[in-house]
Amino acid sequence: MEEENVIDEEIEEDSPIPGIGTMVFGKWDASEVVCNDPGISPYVNLRTIGTPHSGGRHANAWMGKKNLSIIERFINNLMRSGKFSGKKQHCAKALEDAFDKIHEKTGENPLQKFIDAIAEAAPCEEITRIRVGAVSQPKAVDSSPSRRLDVALRNLSVGSASATSKSKKTLTDGVISELTKAAEGDVNSYAVSKRLEVERIAASAR
């Protein structure tokens, strides 16, 4: 009996304890999330300490965005341009509300849906132009993992924001619609359609 108690204590000590740095918005446990794309998984950072606002401390560091929470990176992309430009608190609140509603509908961890959407929206190939003399030819190239993540976040944010233009939809509704469609690989998603378009053009340029 004493040996069993010792084993139980060791297991409890080794088990991860949810707390600061593991709970996004203080609600969602990031330790449960799995990225099925081995290419971008090392660059997916879900460590969030309190509010997802770093104040640009990683801006001038070499590959500093790898140390930046992917939640904050998505929020920053949401306010890149348009009517949400500079409204970081509004975008953060819209994303938090979107996660709450996704959890109410599906009963799942919304972070998993978010990561699945990124994996579906990340293109594997792109094209570049190689100039030989006076002739410029398109050439298919493999995208780096960091580049794939950047493109996926940008397209997801553009799709979320564009859903609110000429519509009564709020930013929360746009985020829910875009993330849900992208996570399922739906071609009606802006991010997924852009990935398929880029990969189709790259396939024709091989």
* pLDDT at res. 18: 40
Domain CATH code at residue 187: 1.10.455.10
pTM: 0.82
Given a contact cutoff of 8 angstroms between Cβ atoms, the answer to whether 128 and 141 are in contact is yes
The pLDDT value given to residue 155? 94
Q: Report the percentage of the chain scoring pLDDT > 90.
A: 38
Residue 8, C-beta contacts closer than 8 angstroms, at least 6 positions apart: none
Give me the number of domains the chain comprises.
Answer: 1
HEC readout, the chain: CHHHHHHHHHHHHHCCCCCCCCEECCCEEHHHCCCCCCCCHHHCCCCCCCCCCCCCCCCCCCCHHHHCCHHHHHHHHHCCCHHHCCCHHHHHHHHHHHHHHHHHHHCCCHHHHHHHHHHHHCCCEEEEEEEECCEEEEEEEECCHHHHHHHHHHHHHHHHHHCCCCCCCCHHHHHHHHHHHHHCCCCCCHHHHHHHHHHHHHHHCC
pLDDT in tens, 9-50: 443 444 444 434 468 887 888 888 888 888 888 888 887 666
What tokens does 5 get? 């108690």
pLDDT in tens, the chain (206 residues): 444 444 444 434 444 444 344 688 878 888 888 888 888 888 888 876 666 777 777 777 777 787 788 998 999 899 887 788 888 889 999 999 999 999 999 888 899 999 999 999 999 999 888 888 888 888 899 999 999 999 999 999 999 988 888 888 899 999 999 999 999 999 999 999 999 999 999 998 88
What is the pLDDT at residue 22? Answer: 66
Q: What is the C-alpha to C-alpha distance for residues 3 and 15, in angstroms, rounded to an integer?
A: 19
Handedness of CA 25, 29, 31, 37 (dihedral sign): negative
Instruction: Please give the pLDDT value at position 196.
Output: 94
Residue-level pLDDT at 41:
87
Q: What's the pLDDT score for residue 178?
A: 93
pLDDT at 175: 93
The residue segments making up the domain with residue 132 are 2-204
